[in-house]
Amino acid sequence: MNTLEQLNFDNTFARLPAPFHSRLKPTPLAKPYLVSFNANAARLIDLASDESSRQDFAECFAGNRLLQGSEPLSMLYAGHQFGHYVQQLGDGRAMLLGEIRNSVGEYWDLQLKGAGPTPYSRSGDGRAVLRSSIREYLCSEAMHGLGIPTTRALCIVGSDDEVYRESIETAAVVTRMAQSHVRFGSFEVFYHRGQKEHLATLADYVIARNFPHLVDVQEKYAEFLREVLVRTAQLMAKWQAVGFSHGVMNTDNMSILGLTFDYGPFGFMEAFDPGYICNHSDHGGRYAYDQQPQIGLWNLTALAQALTPLLPVAEAEKILDEYGDIYSEHYVELMSGKLGLTYAGLEDFALVEPLLEMMRVSELDYTNTFRKLAGFKSAPGELNSALRDQFINRAAFDEWAAAYRARLQAETVTDAERKARMDRVNPKYILRNYLAQTAISKAEKERDFSEVDRLLQLLGRPYDEQPEMESYAAPAPDWARSIEVSCSS
């Protein structure tokens, strides 16, 4: 494991031509302090955990002191925001320090989010607040624990510097890690500017760095679009299966690698509601939970359009037509797994859809209901009373339970084996908004970061029982129902 000075920087994005980025330095924070350090993420870049105890660690990850080998820059991109094209966005409050190549040859971007104004800040202050930094830090690691592709988070550094949002808050910087921060909007900006040469340069760069198996493929741009489509379709299915809503699925928030990206007003759905809107700013419900799969395709269509100078329109359209089947197949596979079935088929929607409808009518907690379903007894005559009594319409549950029992009898596993398998795909713990808010309140009011670290550990093992943490699986208490998250979150 390495010290900070020994990190192996190899800054490939910085070597792209000037139009792709703006070089600059972070704006220092006054008296930065470490809020939390993620040892699991540190291992990805071969960083020794004890480096976090250095006196200058917070200075480095506040941006006050540049790491040896780093070349800070902000990335240019554009994007569709709530369906409307915005011609220039870019990293308005984030700076790519550089790229670290680890001992197994993987590249990991190190990005400071909240490091001060950039040429793309659009009159903003370029800062992040402690509240939003804690939310992103915890959720990115929670998603990783759930097995969902995501950016990672190395640490949070705080400061008493004041930042104005809806009220005065304190500043923070979260160090985000990903194998690329290129997004759909990175391609859109050059398409809409008519700069085909830059579009080709970016596509060739991304393919060489992140899709090297496509470098010598004759139709490499078409195959690149297809791979991005597959990753995105499968990511949407994973979000739906776990009950996650992103909140702001603008094209500039869509990762070219199919990662969960740019955490803002996200939310894990509690009481099942297909129309769940986690973003208080999303007045029209464009990014509601049940809209996410279709928005995934809408965003891919914008990407495909941006790539049309590099591949025939007809080929792009043909690839886009594959999205529905890829999404549906993966979603059915995931939901069949949540029901404990050893093989998946479209016919299993006959079990999934009525169960979800009963959960909606009864306003049942999405995560907890699937977790409890693992205890379903399949023997004839079993009433499964504890589960049954949660549903308003008991007769509807009995009808569904009979169909489920018949389907389970076609399997060759015992109830105990099925429960063990279901517990591996139905989490016990998710990052409920009230859990994040509790950690935020302690951090803001008392400078007590113990709850942040506790949640980091808990959410790294979301499928394990962890009896000492049982209370963290409870749905939101009454006081938490007023919590709202918006684009400032």
Q: Using pLDDT thresholds of 50, 70 and 90, give the confidence band for residue 166.
A: confident
pLDDT in tens, 370-410: 999 999 999 998 999 999 999 999 999 999 999 999 999 98
Closest by Cα among 236, 235, 201 to 221: 201
pLDDT at res. 488: 60
- Which residue range is the domain that position 62 belongs to? 4-182
Residue 133 located in a structural domain: yes
**Separation CA 205–CA 203 (nearest Å):** 5
d(CA 311, CA 219): 8
Residues with catalytic function = 252
CA angle 126, 132, 136 (to 5 degrees): 105
Phi, psi of 107 (to 5 degrees): -100, 135
Q: Does the residue 12 lie in any domain?
A: yes
Would you say residue 481 has pLDDT above 80?
no
* pLDDT for residue 345 is more than 80: no
Domain membership flag for residue 485: no
Q: Does residue 179 carry a pLDDT above 60?
A: yes
What is the four-CA torsion angle of 229, 279, 291, 186, rounded to 10 degrees?
A: -20
- The count of structural domains within the chain is 2
- Residue where a domain terminates, one of 167, 182, 197: 182
Instruction: Provide the 10 A C-beta neighbour count for residue 41.
Output: 22
Q: Does 14 map to a domain?
A: yes
Residue 486 pLDDT level (bands cut at 50, 70, 90): low
Q: How far apart are CA 138 and CA 437, in angstroms?
A: 11
Give the predicted TM-score (pTM) of the model: 0.97
Q: Is residue 405 part of a domain?
A: yes
Domain endpoint, select from 423, 443, 464:
423
pLDDT at residue 336, rounded to an integer: 95
Look at residues 149, 182, 215 and tell me which one is the last residue of a structural domain.
182
Q: Is residue 360 part of a domain?
A: yes
CB within 8 A of 228, min separation 6: which ones?
Answer: 256, 258, 300, 303
pLDDT in tens, 11-45: 999 999 999 999 999 999 999 999 999 999 999 99
CB 424 within 8 A of CB 459: no
Question: Is residue 300 included in any domain, yes or no?
Answer: no
The answer to whether residue 365 is domain-embedded is yes
